[in-house]
């Protein structure tokens, strides 16, 4: 673990370990109405070969945890793995002790033990859950967590949940080790151990670096386009897609082909309807898109292309009787780099109340590929937390000083995007925003959930290499 993160954790370790989240295991009965999630290994098939990976499922075998708006999040998490683990409820705003981040909100869950969670399942929308322990997320320990909006329930639309992931046959620890090996400038651009060096996937002149890791496959609901999931839908019906980017370090471009869909929410939060055929989905982000099946009854693919690459994954929507054509895993053209074009157009349907900013915090995103060292400098200082007081309107001014894009995620709060590269906007309410190379993005949030919250880059390897800090309320440090 990176030094800055370790020193940060040292400051809070005493607090975190003294407050056990769950009572002693095996002596406590399961409460009525409680749902059980179990972490265990599972075998999936990737391009004809079996892969043993982590996973989460319910006693029914279901992967997706689906609740209704207004429900209580009443969950027992059992760790059936032989390693310390846990799940974070990404996009929900629980009390901080139930956020599922080891050593920040509480201890990890030991093998054979469990932890109980009980809080209002809010805000409603497309959320997800994933391990926040080490590199387990790259081991596919992630799943959809949907709190269906009353409006979605009433609409009666069929819902199609798509979880996107990046897959490698190489162990996550090996991928990270390879990334951290010193890279002499002369070797830049040469392929080393399956890693992409700067310049490999972006025009040489831009100096931008899109992908650190070369993946073996991209998955949609654990499957590749060699054998995609096929959803049965009604001819001409309107369908609500809930798409989740659960990849460890891949941004995607969602591609609806010739069909125009309507963006309903981003990161689970309603936006003014926006018509799209393509939509960028950075790591950890979600988008809900309503799309109508064509009257001719043809099957439709919903595709996701990895940023900077022609490789794609996806699912198929199939009306009764339609034939499903084979979809190539490589598109005709590479997806371009994600930009702010769509983000600039998004408008929150429920913007934050208008009020002055009480605290503006400069957060520089720092690092370089040569040493694979990443960081967050708060008020110009590395390895210090963002201090806030309850009741404040807080602005985070994220300035990316690097040539990579960083999907920045704040726990326990949803923020509103208010400025991109100097241009003011009443942008989307989100929990994860992509800050492209050398860009500055401002977001605001209301400090209404006291505690100690993770605030980090959601590129798993950037986070592991130090791009991680906390938001700490007065009285909680």
Alpha helices by DSSP H, listed for 285-327, are none
Residue 98 or 249 with smaller CB distance to Cu ion: 249
Sole window of 145-153, 222-230, 259-267, 461-469 interacting with Cu ion (rule: CB under 5 A) = 461-469
Nearer to Cu ion, 463 or 471 (CB): 463
Q: How many secondary structure helices (H) and strands (E) does the chain include?
A: 5, 32
The nearest distance, CB 338 to Cu ion, in angstroms, is 13
> Where is 222: in which H helix or E strand?
none
Give how many residues touch Cu ion by CB under 5 A: 4
Give the N- to C-terminal CA distance of the chain in Å, as an integer.
21
Considering the rule CB under 5 A, would residue 305 count as an interface residue with Cu ion?
A: no
Structural contact between residues 442 and 418, judged by C-beta atoms closer than 8 angstroms: yes
Residue 250 contacts residue 335 (beta carbons within 8 Å): no
| Nearest distance in Å: CB 337, Cu ion | 14
Q: Which of 2, 409, 411, 462 binds Cu ion (CB under 5 A)?
A: 462
User: Shortest approach of Cu ion to residue 415 CB, angstroms?
Assistant: 17
User: Could you say which residues in the range 396-455 bind Cu ion, by CB under 5 A?
Assistant: 406
Side-chain half-sphere exposure of 62, counting CA atoms within 13 A: 11
Rounded CA separation 198/215 (Å): 16
Q: How far is the CB of 405 from Cu ion (least distance, A)?
A: 7
Q: Which of 213, 241, 457, 465 binds Cu ion (CB under 5 A)?
A: 457
Residue with tokens 């009854």: 297
Rounded to whole angstroms, how far apart are CA atoms 413 and 392? Answer: 13
Cβ of residue 147: shortest distance to Cu ion, in angstroms? 27
Residues numbered 129 to 168 that lie near Cu ion (CB under 5 A) are: none
Query: What whole-number distance in Å separates Cα of residue 357 and Cα of residue 137?
Result: 35
Instruction: Using the minimum distance from each CB to Cu ion, give the nearer residue, 224 or 402.
Output: 402
Span interacting with Cu ion, options 60-68, 123-131, 138-146, 459-467, rule CB under 5 A = 459-467
Residue 165 or 212 with smaller CB distance to Cu ion: 212
Is residue 176 within 8 A of residue 164, CB to CB? The reply is no
Residue 34 burial (CB < 10 Å; 0-12/13-18/19+)?
Answer: middle
Q: Which is nearer to Cu ion, 305 or 406 (CB)?
A: 406
**Candidate segments 53-61, 384-392, 431-439, 458-466, binder of Cu ion by CB under 5 A:** 458-466
| Smaller CB separation from Cu ion, 284 or 457 | 457
Q: By C-beta, is 315 or 405 nearer to Cu ion? A: 405
Among 57, 459, 469, 470, interactor with Cu ion by CB under 5 A: 459
d(CA 469, CA 24): 30
The alpha-carbon radius of gyration of the chain (Å, integer) is: 21
Contact 367, 465 (CB under 8 A): yes
**Residue closer to Cu ion (CB basis): 240 or 406:** 406
Q: Could you tell me if 243 and 263 are in contact, meaning their C-beta atoms sit under 8 angstroms apart? A: no
List contacts with Cu ion (CB under 5 A).
Answer: 406, 457, 459, 462
């Amino acid at each position: 673990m990176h030094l800055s993160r370790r020193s940060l954790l040292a400051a809070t370790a005493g607090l975190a370990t003294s407050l056990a989240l769950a009572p002693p295991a095996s002596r406590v009965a399961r409460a009525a109405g409680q749902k059980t999630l179990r972490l265990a290994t599972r075998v999936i098939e990737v391009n004809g070969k079996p892969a043993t990976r982590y996973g989460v499922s319910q006693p029914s075998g279901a992967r997706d945890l689906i609740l209704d708006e207004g429900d209580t999040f009443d969950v027992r998490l059992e760790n059936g793995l032989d390693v310390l683990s846990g799940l974070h409820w990404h996009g929900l705003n629980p009390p901080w002790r139930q956020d599922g981040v080891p050593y920040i909100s509480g201890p990890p869950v030991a093998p054979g033990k469990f932890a109980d969670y009980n809080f209002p399942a809010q805000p409603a929308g497309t959320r997800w859950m994933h391990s926040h322990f080490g590199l387990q997320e790259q081991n596919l320990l992630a799943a959809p967590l949907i709190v269906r909006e009353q409006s979605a329930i009433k609409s009666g639309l069929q819902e199609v949940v798509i979880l996107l992931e990046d897959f490698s046959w190489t162990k996550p620890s090996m991928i990270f080790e390879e990334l951290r090996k010193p890279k002499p400038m002369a070797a830049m651009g040469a392929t080393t151990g399956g890693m992409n060096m700067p310049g490999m996937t972006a025009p040489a002149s831009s100096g931008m670096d899109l992908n650190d890791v070369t993946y073996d496959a991209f998955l949609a609901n654990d499957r590749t386009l060699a054998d995609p999931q096929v959803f049965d839908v009604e001819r001409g019906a309107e369908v609500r897609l809930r798409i989740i980017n659960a990849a460890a370090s891949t941004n995607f471009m969602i591609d609806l082909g010739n069909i125009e869909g309507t963006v309903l929410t981003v990161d689970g939060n309603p936006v003014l309807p926006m018509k799209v055929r393509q939509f960028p989905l950075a790591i950890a982000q979600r988008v809900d898109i309503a799309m109508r099946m064509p009257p001719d009854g043809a099957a439709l693919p919903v595709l996701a292309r990895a940023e900077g690459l022609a490789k794609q994954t996806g699912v198929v929507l199939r009306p009764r009787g339609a034939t499903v054509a084979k979809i190539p895993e490589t598109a005709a053209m590479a997806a371009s780099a994600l930009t702010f074009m769509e983000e600039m157009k998004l408008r929150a349907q429920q913007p934050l109340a208008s009020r002055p900013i009480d605290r503006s915090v400069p957060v520089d995103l720092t690092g370089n590929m040569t040493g694979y060292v990443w960081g967050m400098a708060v008020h110009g200082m590395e390895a210090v937390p963002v201090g806030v007081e309850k009741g404040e309107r807080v602005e985070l001014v994220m300035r990316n000083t690097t040539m990579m894009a960083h999907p920045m995620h704040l726990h326990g709060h949803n923020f509103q995007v208010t400025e991109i590269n100097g241009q003011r906007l009443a942008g989307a309410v989100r929990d994860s925003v992509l800050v492209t190379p050398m860009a500055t993005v401002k977001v605001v949030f209301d400090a209404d959930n006291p505690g100690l919250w993770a605030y980090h880059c959601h590129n798993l390897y950037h986070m592991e290499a130090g791009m991680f800090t906390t938001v700490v309320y007065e009285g909680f440090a």
